[in-house]
C-alpha cells in the first residue's frame, strides 16, 4: 500500500491542505516549494499506510511552529526540523522509523516531506489534528494520552532546545516562549510514539485525503466548476463526513486584529446566488471557528469551515480575504475521533471562548436545502 | 587547602554575599536557610581551592535565575538545580567533579551549597562575576571564551529544558523566556567547563572572601562599630582593591520602577557626619550602578557600590532602602579580570545606558579624604 509522493502530489497536497486548513495553518505555498525542492534533490518520498508501521517502531511528527507571517520573511535553511528529529533521536537513543505530519491543514502538511526527503525516511499517512489548529496540545495524540515531550525545537541559526514538561499544555506554553525568542518561528520534532500509539491516536489516511481534495480542486478550477462533487468523492472514502455548502455570499467587511499572537477577527458577508437578503458572519482565530446566518449558528469548530473563491474555485486563507470577494462557505464534518467528549474539551467552541455547545454541522443543517434555496 | 563549610560559615557567607551583591542579587536569606538545611541533613560541604581541581575535571556552575521576589513566594523543593546538573551530566556523558557559584553576590552565593550538600560534591572557591549581575552572559566565563551552553533549566514542578545556543547572549535571551514561562524562576546548570578553563576564566577565592567579609560585618555589627577596617583586612588578601567609604548620608527619597523585568531607580541622599550640605545620588538596576556627589561621578559599575546601614552596620539590598535610613556608601574596586576592555564591553557603564567611561573608583577618589572631611 506504500506509494511514492513526487512533485505533482505535493502540488495537490498543498491545495488540499488549504481546504483542510480552514483558513489558517499558514499559506502552504512556501512549504510546498521547500518540499518540491527537497524531492527534486533527494527523490520521491515513501508514503506508508498506518497499517504498515511495526508496533514498536518509533514515529515522530515534525513541523514548523510560530507565526507563518514570520516564516515567509525568515526563510528556513530546510534542515531545521531534521536537526530537531536527530537531536530527539540522540536523546531517546533510538532511530526514527518514519516521520509524520502533526496537522494536515496548511503549511505543516508539506514540512514533513522536507524532512523525509532529506533523511530518506518514509512518512506515515496520518496526522494529529485532521485540520489545522494553533496550539501544540491540540492534537489527538495528546487527547488520547501520548506525551508531547521530549520535544526539540531548532531555529535557522542553529539554536536548539530540548523540552521535557509535566503535561502537553506546559509544553505548548514553554515551546511558544522559545519560538518567540527564536524570532517567531521554530522547527520541531515532538510526540515521539510507537507504531501502535500512532494507530490508536491519529487521524488516519489524511495525507491521501489532502492530495485527493487538492486534485479535485485543481481539476474543478481548471474547468471553472464547483469542486463539491469531486471533493465529496474524496471525503466519502475517509473518516470525514459529506461536505456541505453553508452559503454563497459576497464579503462586505473583514475585521481583524492581531491579539496574543493570533490573527483574530470576523468576516461579514451578504448572501448571493439564492441567499440574497441574508447576512452571514464567520469568526476566526487563525482558523475559521464559527459560521452564522444572522444569529443562527451554522457550523462550529472542530468541524471544518473553509472559504472557496467563486472566481478560481480555490480555497482562501484568512489573510487573503478582502471586501468584494465572492465565496462559497464550505463545511466538512470532522472525523469521530475529533468529536469525543475529551477531544471537545481541547478544541470545542468553549475552548475558544464561545458559550456554545458543539453540535455536528450535519445536525445543525439537517434537511437544509443546499445554498439557502 | 580544602576545608569544610558548615552552618556557621553559611551564616557569614550570606552576609558577605549581601556586601558583594551591591544592593542586588536577591536577598540571601532564603538561600541561606536552604543551604543550612541541606548541610544539616547531608553534612558539611568541601570547599576546594581552584588549584585543587584537576585540569580535565568537569566543573559546573549552578544557580537560580529569575526574579528573587518570585523565588520567595514560590519556594523551591531544593533539588531543582541538582536535577539540572544531572541532566547536563547525562547530555555530556560525564560526571561533574565539582560545582561552583556563577556569582558571589546575593542569593546565588548559597544556592550551590544546596546542590553540593545533596550531591555530595565539592564546591570550587571561585565564581564568574565577583559580585552580582542580572544576566547570564555577564560572566567572566563568557568574556574569556567559555560557552554557556549546553545548559539545563528546571522548575519546581519538574519541567526542564536543555538549551544549545550559538552564543551566550542568545542563551540568556532564550533561558530568560523559559524562566518567565516557568513562573518567573528557573534553576540552572550552565557553563560546563574543565578545571583549566575554570582557573583561566574565574574570579578566584571569592567564596572565602564573602565568608570573611561576612564575619567582619557580623563581628562589627555585634560591637556596633564600622566594619571597614575588618573588611579591608579581608579584601587585602583578595584580588579586589581597598574599600572606600564614598560618603555617609541620610536617604531623602527612593524612586523605583519595575521596567523590563528589572528593578530600576535612584536613591537620593543628603550628607551627614561631615558631608553636610552635599547631595548624593545612586542609580540602580537591580544592582547599584553609579554613585554621584552632586554631578560628580564617585564610582561606576563594575566597581562595587554597597549601602551599609549605620544603625546595624549591615549591608542593605536595594528593596529595603527607605526614607530616613542613615547609610554609609561603600565602594570596592573590582578585580583586574573584571576591568579588561572585553569585560567592560559586557558590564561597563555604557552597557547600562550611561555615556560614561569606566574610571576605576580608586582613581575617581584619588587623594580623597574618607568621609568627605
**Residue numbers in B near A178 (CB within 8 A):** 161, 174, 177-178
- Nearest residue in chain B measured CA to CA from A155: B165
Instruction: Give the CA distances from residue B168 to residues A158, B136, B149, B205, B268, in Å, rounded to whole numbers and listed in that order.
Output: 13, 8, 7, 25, 35
Q: How far is A183 from chain B (nearest CA, A)?
A: 10
Q: What's the pLDDT score for residue A369? A: 47
Mean pLDDT estimate for chain A: 93
Q: How far is A197 from chain B (nearest CA, A)?
A: 23
Give A167-184 pLDDT, tens digit per residue. Answer: 999 999 999 999 999 998
In chain A, alpha helices (H):
7-20, 29-42, 68-73, 80-92, 111-119, 140-143, 168-181, 195-201, 206-223, 228-236, 341-347, 361-364
| CB contact B189 to A (< 8 Å) | no
**Residue numbers in A near B174 (CB within 8 A):** 159, 161, 178, 181-182
Q: What is the DSSP string of A203-216?
A: EETHHHHHHHHHHH
Q: How far is B196 from chain A (nearest CA, A)?
A: 27
Cell readout for B225 is: 562599630
pLDDT at B128 over 70: yes
- Phi then psi for residue A290, to 5 deg, are -140, 135
- Report whether B285 contacts B264 (CB < 8 A): yes
| CB contact B164 to A (< 8 Å) | yes
Give the list of residues 6+ apart from residue A221 with CB closer than 8 angstroms, or none: A227, A312, A313, A314
The three-state (H, E, C) secondary structure of chain B, written as one string: CCEEECHHHHHHHHHHHHHHCCCCCCCCHHHHHHHHHHHHHHCCEEEECHHHCCCCCEEEEEEEEECHHHHHHCCCCCCHHHHHHHHHHHHHCCCCCEEECCCCCHHHHCHHHHHHHHHCCCEECEECCCCCCCCCCCCHHHHCCCCCCCEEEECCCCCEEEEECCCHHHHHHHHHHHHHHCCCEEEEECCCEEHHHHHHHCEECHHHHHHHHHHHHHHHHHHCCCCHHHHHHHHHCCCCCCCEEEEEEEEEEEEEEEECCEEEEEEEEEECCCCCCCEEEEEEECEEEEEEECCEEEEECCCEEEEEECCCCCEECHHHCCCCCEEEEEEECCCHHHCCHHHHHHHCHHHHCCCCCCCCHHHHCCCCCHHHC
Interface of B with A in 253-292 (CB under 8 A): none
Q: What's the pLDDT score for residue B372? A: 40
Question: Shortest CB distance from A181 goes to which of B162, B174, B182?
Answer: B174
Answer yes or no: do B157 and A166 touch at CB < 8 A: yes
Mean pLDDT estimate for chain B: 93
Cell readout for B200 is: 583561566
Give A240-262 pLDDT, tens digit per residue. Answer: 999 999 999 999 999 988 777 67
The per-residue b/e assignment along A67-90, b for 16 or more CB within 10 angstroms, e otherwise, is bbeebeebebebbbbbbbbbbbbe
| CB contact B167 to A (< 8 Å) | no
pLDDT at B52 over 90: yes
Answer yes or no: do A174 and B163 touch at CB < 8 A: no
Residue in the structure block whose three cell numbers are 566597581: B303
Q: What's the pLDDT score for residue A109? A: 95
- Among B160, B173, B183, which would you mutate to test the A interface (most chain A Cβ atoms within 10 Å of its Cβ)? B160
Cα-based angle B6, B10, B16 (whole degrees, multiple of 5)? 145
- Among A92, A137, A150, A164, which would you mutate to test the B interface (most chain B Cβ atoms within 10 Å of its Cβ)? A164
**Residue numbers in A near B170 (CB within 8 A):** 157, 159
Give A96-155 pLDDT, tens digit per residue. Answer: 999 999 999 988 999 999 999 999 999 999 999 999 998 999 999 999 999 999 999 999
Task: Determine if the peptide bond prior to B329 is cis (ω within 30°).
Answer: no
| CB contact A169 to B (< 8 Å) | no
**Residue numbers in B near A176 (CB within 8 A):** 181
A317 membership: H or E segment, kind and range: none
Give the list of residues 6+ apart from residue A367 with CB closer than 8 angstroms, or none: none
Query: Residue A158 carries which DSSP code?
Result: S
Residue in the structure block whose three cell numbers are 514538561: A165
Complex ipTM: 0.89
Query: Residue A30 carries which DSSP code?
Result: H
Question: Shortest CB distance from B159 goes to which of A161, A170, A181?
Answer: A170
Average pLDDT of the residues in B105-127: 96
Q: How far is B185 from chain A (nearest CA, A)?
A: 13
pLDDT at B215 over 50: yes
Answer yes or no: do B166 and A157 touch at CB < 8 A: yes
Cα-based angle B244, B249, B254 (whole degrees, multiple of 5)? 110
Q: How far is B164 from chain A (nearest CA, A)?
A: 5
| CB contact B177 to A (< 8 Å) | yes
- In chain B, % of residues over pLDDT 70: 97
B1 CB neighbour count, 10 Å cutoff: 11
In order of start, what are the domains of chain B with their CATH numbers? 3-204 (3.40.1610.10)
Q: How far apart are CA A239 and CA A129, in angstroms?
A: 13
Give A208-229 pLDDT, tens digit per residue. Answer: 999 999 999 999 989 988 888 9
Answer yes or no: do A161 and B166 touch at CB < 8 A: no
Q: How far is B56 from chain A (nearest CA, A)?
A: 25
Distance of CA B185 to the CA centre of its chain: 17
Q: How many CA atoms are closer than 13 Å to the CA of A78, on its beta-carbon side? A: 17
- Nearest residue in chain A measured CA to CA from B153: A163
Give A264-281 pLDDT, tens digit per residue. Answer: 899 999 999 999 999 999
Average pLDDT of the residues in B101-112: 94
- Nearest residue in chain B measured CA to CA from A156: B166
**Residue numbers in A near B163 (CB within 8 A):** 159-161
Question: Shortest CB distance from B166 goes to which of A159, A161, A181?
Answer: A159
| CB contact B368 to A (< 8 Å) | no
Give A66-95 pLDDT, tens digit per residue. Answer: 876 677 777 788 899 999 999 999 999 999
Interface of A with B in 222-241 (CB under 8 A): none
Q: What is the DSSP string of A276-315?
A: TT-EEEEEEESEEEEEEETTEEEEETTSEEEEEETTT--E
- Report whether B282 contacts B258 (CB < 8 A): no
- Report whether B213 contacts B15 (CB < 8 A): yes
pLDDT at A198 over 90: yes
Q: How far apart are CA B136 and CA A236, in angstroms?
A: 57
- Nearest residue in chain B measured CA to CA from A153: B163
Question: Shortest CB distance from B174 goes to which of A159, A162, A170?
Answer: A159
Q: How far apart are CA A149 and CA A171, in angstroms?
A: 7
Distance of CA B353 to the CA centre of its chain: 21
Size of interface A-B (CB pairs under 8 A): 52
Specify the length of chain A in residues: 373
Q: How far apart are CA B280 and CA B298, in angstroms?
A: 10
Average pLDDT of the residues in B335-357: 96
Interface of A with B in 87-106 (CB under 8 A): none
Q: What's the pLDDT score for residue A368? A: 62
pLDDT at B373 over 70: no
| CB contact A170 to B (< 8 Å) | yes
**Residue numbers in A near B161 (CB within 8 A):** 161-164, 174, 178
**Residue numbers in B near A164 (CB within 8 A):** 159-161
| CB contact A153 to B (< 8 Å) | no
Q: How far apart are CA B335 and CA B340, in angstroms?
A: 10
Average pLDDT of the residues in B197-222: 96
Amino acid at each position: 500500500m506504500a506509494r511514492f509522493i513526487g512533485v505533482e502530489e505535493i502540488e495537490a497536497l498543498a491545495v488540499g491542505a488549504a481546504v483542510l486548513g480552514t483558513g489558517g495553518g499558514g499559506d502552504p505555498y512556501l512549504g510546498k516549494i521547500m518540499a518540491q525542492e527537497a524531492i527534486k534533490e533527494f527523490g520521491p518520498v515513501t508514503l506508508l499506510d498506518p497499517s504498515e508501521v511495526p508496533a514498536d517502531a518509533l514515529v515522530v511528527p515534525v513541523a514548523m511552529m510560530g507565526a507563518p507571517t514570520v516564516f515567509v520573511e525568515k526563510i528556513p535553511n530546510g534542515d531545521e526540523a531534521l536537526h530537531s528529529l536527530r537531536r530527539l533521536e540522540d536523546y531517546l537513543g533510538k532511530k526514527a522509523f518514519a516521520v509524520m505530519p502533526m496537522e494536515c491543514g496548511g503549511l505543516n502538511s508539506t514540512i514533513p516531506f522536507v524532512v523525509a526527503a532529506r533523511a530518506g525516511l518514509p512518512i506515515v499517512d496520518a496526522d494529529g489534528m485532521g485540520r489545522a489548529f494553533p496550539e501544540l496540545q491540540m492534537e489527538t495524540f495528546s487527547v488520547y494520552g501520548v506525551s508531547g515531550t521530549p520535544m526539540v525545537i531548532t531555529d535557522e541559526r542553529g539554536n536548539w532546545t530540548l523540552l521535557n514538561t509535566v503535561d502537553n499544555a506546559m509544553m505548548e506554553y514553554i515551546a511558544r516562549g522559545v519560538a518567540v525568542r527564536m524570532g517567531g518561528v521554530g522547527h520541531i520534532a515532538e510526540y515521539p510514539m510507537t507504531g501502535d500509539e500512532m494507530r490508536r491516536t491519529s487521524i488516519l489516511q489524511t495525507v491521501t485525503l489532502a492530495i485527493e481534495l487538492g486534485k479535485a480542486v485543481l481539476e474543478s478550477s481548471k474547468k471553472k466548476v464547483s469542486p463539491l462533487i469531486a471533493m465529496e468523492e474524496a471525503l466519502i472514502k475517509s473518516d470525514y463526513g459529506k461536505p456541505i455548502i453553508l452559503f454563497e455570499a459576497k464579503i462586505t467587511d473583514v475585521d481583524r486584529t492581531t491579539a496574543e499572537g493570533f490573527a483574530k477577527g470576523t468576516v461579514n458577508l451578504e448572501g448571493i446566488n439564492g441567499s440574497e437578503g441574508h447576512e452571514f458572519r464567520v469568526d476566526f482565530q487563525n482558523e475559521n471557528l464559527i459560521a452564522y446566518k444572522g444569529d443562527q449558528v451554522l457550523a462550529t469548530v472542530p468541524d471544518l469551515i473553509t472559504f472557496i473563491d467563486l472566481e478560481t474555485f480555490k480555497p482562501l486563507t484568512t489573510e487573503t480575504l478582502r471586501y468584494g470577494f465572492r465565496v462559497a462557505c464550505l463545511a466538512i464534518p470532522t472525523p469521530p475521533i475529533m468529536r469525543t467528549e475529551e477531544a471537545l474539551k481541547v478544541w470545542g467552541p468553549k475552548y475558544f471562548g464561545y458559550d456554545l455547545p458543539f453540535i455536528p454541522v450535519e445536525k445543525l443543517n439537517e434537511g437544509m436545502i443546499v445554498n439557502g434555496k
